[in-house]
Amino acid sequence: MSRSPAIWFATAALALAPAAHAGLAVSPVIVDVPPSAAPRADIEAMNDGADTLYVVIEPARIDHPGDVGERRVQDPDPQALGLLATPNRLVLAPGERKFVRLALLAPAGDTDRIFRVTVRPVVGQVNAGTTGLKILIGYDLLVIQRPARPVATIVATRDGATLTLRNTGDTNAELFQGQACDAARRCAPLAGHRLYAATSWSIALAPGSTAEYQVKVGDKVTAERF
């Protein structure tokens, strides 16, 4: 299922002395484009390490995000995919920063369009006499194209110790800083979740307790109790 932006790690046996970090940093890791904004955004890739980095950028569309049928779709045709990332390869010298332009190629629709953009370093050939370890850090960015009239409506139902939240709107909502509170206001933290349109999420909740979350839709945050 589609989650928050992921940072992945890959390791390779290299002819180096002790472990070294590849030094790639990317910002922002979430690109949220409302219907009122221009259909494009820039992300910044930076090399804060001591070695030159060779970086590839791989966009993908997420169909049925957050559902059991979720799948990641890659297409060499940006028009068919719905997102163009340019350039799709970078060479970053130590300390160098470069921008990647993300362009949405279709107008806002009736519901969210969700994309992932993988930004990852690749390993070059290494020649030396000792064996070590190099850690490669990559990023899986979340790109959200909000619909023409974004509305997230969260409906709560209870079944014993299970609370189910369903998003009956047309856009996703991020639930964070959650806590379960009883009648005496004794509270315990609850996990967060991104609730996509037409999906549901269930959590265990003791009878008599309520779930309280900060709910973020675009740049608007509200406090909700379920």
Domain 154-225 class, CATH top level: mainly beta
pLDDT at residue number 45: 98
Q: CA angle 66-70-76, nearest 5°? A: 125
Say which residues have a Cβ less than 8 Å from residue 100's Cβ, sequence separation at least 6: 42, 43, 44, 45, 57, 85, 86, 87, 90, 119
Q: Reply yes or no on whether the pLDDT at 31 is more than 50.
A: yes
Q: Reply yes or no on whether the pLDDT at 16 is more than 80.
A: no
Note the pTM of the prediction, 2 decimals: 0.87
Length of the chain: 226
Per-residue pLDDT tens over the stretch 162-173: 999 999 999 999
Per-residue pLDDT tens over the stretch 97-107: 999 999 999 99
Domain 6-145 class, CATH top level: mainly beta
- Residue ranges of the domains in the chain? 6-145, 154-225
